[in-house]
Amino acid sequence: MAKEHKQSSAITPLFSAEAIENRIREIGTEISLDFASATTESPLLLIVVLKGAFIFAADLLRTITIPCIVDFIHASSYGSRKISSGNVTIKHNLAIEGRDILLVEDIVDTGLTIQQVTAELMTMKPASLSICTLLDKPEARKHPVVARYTGFIVPNAFIVGYGIDFNEQYRGLPSLGVLDS
């Protein structure tokens, strides 16, 4: 049952809960095919970027049919602002050497956060590292990023819902929308 939210800002709808569910199912099928060699002894490791990607990752995990496990990393460059601060803080306790990694992110916009997270993870010598993002905002890109799996291309606007917040608000919305100024 969807929660009723009372927020002060208006949200322009972008993607319905049904559209999100359908696209995630397609991505899960692609991942399952691409990593079909995963075994219980060598499962695919999903590293979820907190906090925004947790709902996407949970739904994605349920669509993947190969052995996989989940771990988390916390990365932030926004704080309580609508634009990136330009400083990324990363917190984790990961051991990934020799593992196939799927980095699960909510949104790639400037590319700064995902670029710094992938650079840090690569120093830990994974067997492979692929990026899966629910949303890609190429118009905002300042740092090159290539996501192997993308849910939706979105406009250069502030998106909320489905785990993505503004100042810790709107995460619980079952759909995605643009936060009006």
Where does the pLDDT of residue 94 fall: very low under 50, low under 70, confident under 90, or very high at 90 and above? confident
Per DSSP, the residues of 59-121 read HHHTT--S-EEEEEEEEES-TTSSS--S--EEE-----TT-EEEEEEEEESSSHHHHHHHHHH
* Annotated catalytic residue 71: no
Q: Which of 59, 100, 106, 109 is catalytic?
A: 109
Give the C-alpha separation, 135 to 137, whole Å. 7
Q: Which domains does the chain carry?
A: 18-156 (3.40.50.2020)
What is the per-residue pLDDT across 9-19, written as a single tens digit (0 to 9) for each? 799 999 999 99
Q: Give the three-class secondary structure for 44.
A: strand
What is the mean predicted confidence (pLDDT) over 105-113?
92
What is the mean predicted confidence (pLDDT) over 81-110?
80
Residue that has been written with the tokens 């890109």 in this structure: 141
Helices (H) and strands (E) in the chain, counts: 3, 9
From 138, 163, 132, select the one nearest 153 (Cα to Cα): 138
What is the per-residue pLDDT across 58-78, written as a single tens digit (0 to 9) for each? 999 999 999 999 999 988 765
pTM for the structure as a whole: 0.86
